[in-house]
């Protein structure tokens, strides 16, 4: 039985004051959630990670980062390494978010390198994959997702996938208010699990597979009701404590 996982991606939002309020709200709202059922993490902007980790001390909510360098140290101006994130106390790092693939031109090779850099420091990568609307309409969704996952397996190896999380995030559903139907999401999730199962049944069975794309309190339960959907990566709705908490409850 896989544990469920809900991760909030706060993107480039917040101030010290608003994040203080958000974390306090989350701790209040989630105080009664049985910790043995659902893993919860939040991914603030880098500069607020120490504040959030300090506020979360003693809580079951983990902290993650939204990005990382593929290098551990050196002359890489403006970059943040997995070593640094581990020292701060992060547990997760999002790699391959579609905004980074699109806006920062990150390639599958870049993402695979980040994935291994994260794991080398004992952190858990949350690997994001997803198709554009044009790819979906062209019937290329499953082959595209498979290619994105195999690009990481080719570098990291199938066993490394056991210590990772995969988030299926259709690009057309991110921040648009359009959610994939539970059936559309389940179809892709089942395919991802099959791609992994072709190499290792054990890895495929154990891996937490999240859906992301306009998940809200009122659509979460239906998505989580699907066999291969183990939780969610949440953007917009993660910025309101009550909404994020409701999604965690649904998981
Ligand atoms: C995301 O950016 O990972 C995301 C899922 O955003 P939203 O929930 O706002 O669609």
Considering only CA atoms, which residue is closest to atom 7 of ligand 1? 235
Domain boundaries, the chain: 4-250
| Spatial separation of the C-alpha atoms in residues 129 and 168, rounded to whole Å | 5
Measure the CA angle with vertex 205, ends 199 and 209; round to 5°.
100
> Nearest residue CA, atom 4 of ligand 1?
235
| The pLDDT of residue 37 | 80
CATH number (3.50.50.60, 1.10.10.60, 3.20.20.70, 3.20.20.100) of 4-250 reads 3.20.20.70
Token pair recorded at residue 27:
């701790």
Reading phi first (left if > 0) and then psi (alpha if -120 to 50, else beta), residue 225 is in alpha
Q: Is the CB of 169 under 6 A from ligand 1?
A: yes
236 assigned ligand-binding residue: yes
Distance 126 CA to ligand 1 centre (A): 14
User: Does the annotation count 169 as an active-site position?
Assistant: yes
213 a known binding residue?
A: no
Residue in the block written with tokens 């089942």: 190
Split at pLDDT 50, 70, 90, the class of 84 is very high
Q: Is residue 146 flagged as an active site residue?
A: no
Residue 163: pLDDT band by 50, 70, 90 thresholds? very high
Nearest-angstrom CA–CA distance, 158 and 139: 27
Measuring CA to CA, how many Å separate 12 from each of 15, 78, 223, 247?
10, 16, 26, 21
236 lines ligand 1 (CB under 6 A): yes
Distance 234 CA to ligand 1 centre (A): 5
At residue 32, does pLDDT exceed 90?
A: no
By the 8 A CB rule, do 112 and 151 touch? yes
Tokens of 49: 């990670």
pLDDT tier for residue 248 given thresholds of 50, 70 and 90: very high
Q: Compute the distance from residue 178 Cα to the ligand 1 centre, in Å.
A: 11
Confidence of residue 33 (pLDDT cuts 50, 70, 90): confident
Sign of CA dihedral 161, 147, 81, 235: negative
What ipTM does this complex have? 0.97
3-class secondary-structure state, position 223:
helix
Active-site choice (99, 106, 169, 191): 169
Residue 235 is assigned to a ligand binding site: yes
pLDDT at res. 34 = 74
174-225 residue pLDDT tens:
989 888 999 999 999 999 999 999 999 999 999 999 999 999 999 999 999 9
Dist CA 146 CA 143 (whole Å):
5
- In this prediction, residue 62 has a pLDDT band, given cuts at 50, 70 and 90, of very high
Under a CB-based contact definition with an 8 Å cutoff, are residues 33 and 249 in contact? Answer: yes
Mean pLDDT of the chain: 96
């Amino acid at each position: 039985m896989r544990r469920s996982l809900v991760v909030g991606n706060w993107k480039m939002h917040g101030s010290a004051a608003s994040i203080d309020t958000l974390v306090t709200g989350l701790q209040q709202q989630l105080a009664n959630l049985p910790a043995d059922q659902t893993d919860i993490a939040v991914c603030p902007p880098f500069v607020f990670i120490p504040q959030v980790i300090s506020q979360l001390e003693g809580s079951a909510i983990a902290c993650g980062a939204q990005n990382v360098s593929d290098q551990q140290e050196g002359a890489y101006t403006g970059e943040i390494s997995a070593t640094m994130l581990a020292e701060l106390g992060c547990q997760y790092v999002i790699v391959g978010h579609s905004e980074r693939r699109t806006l920062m031109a990150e390639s599958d090779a870049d993402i695979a390198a980040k994935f291994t850099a994260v794991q080398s420091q004992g952190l858990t990568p949350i690997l994001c994959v997803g198709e554009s609307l044009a790819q979906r309409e062209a019937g290329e969704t499953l082959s595209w997702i498979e290619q994105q996952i195999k690009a990481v397996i080719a570098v990291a190896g199938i066993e490394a996938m056991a210590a990772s999380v995969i988030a299926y995030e259709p690009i057309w559903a991110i921040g648009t208010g359009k959610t994939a139907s539970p059936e559309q999401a389940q179809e892709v999730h089942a395919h991802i699990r099959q791609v992994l199962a072709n190499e290792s049944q054990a890895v495929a069975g154990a891996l937490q597979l999240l859906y992301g794309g306009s998940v809200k309190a009122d659509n979460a339960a239906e998505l989580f009701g699907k066999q291969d959907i183990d939780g969610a990566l949440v953007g917009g709705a993660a910025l309101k404590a009550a909404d994020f908490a409701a999604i965690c409850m649904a998981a």
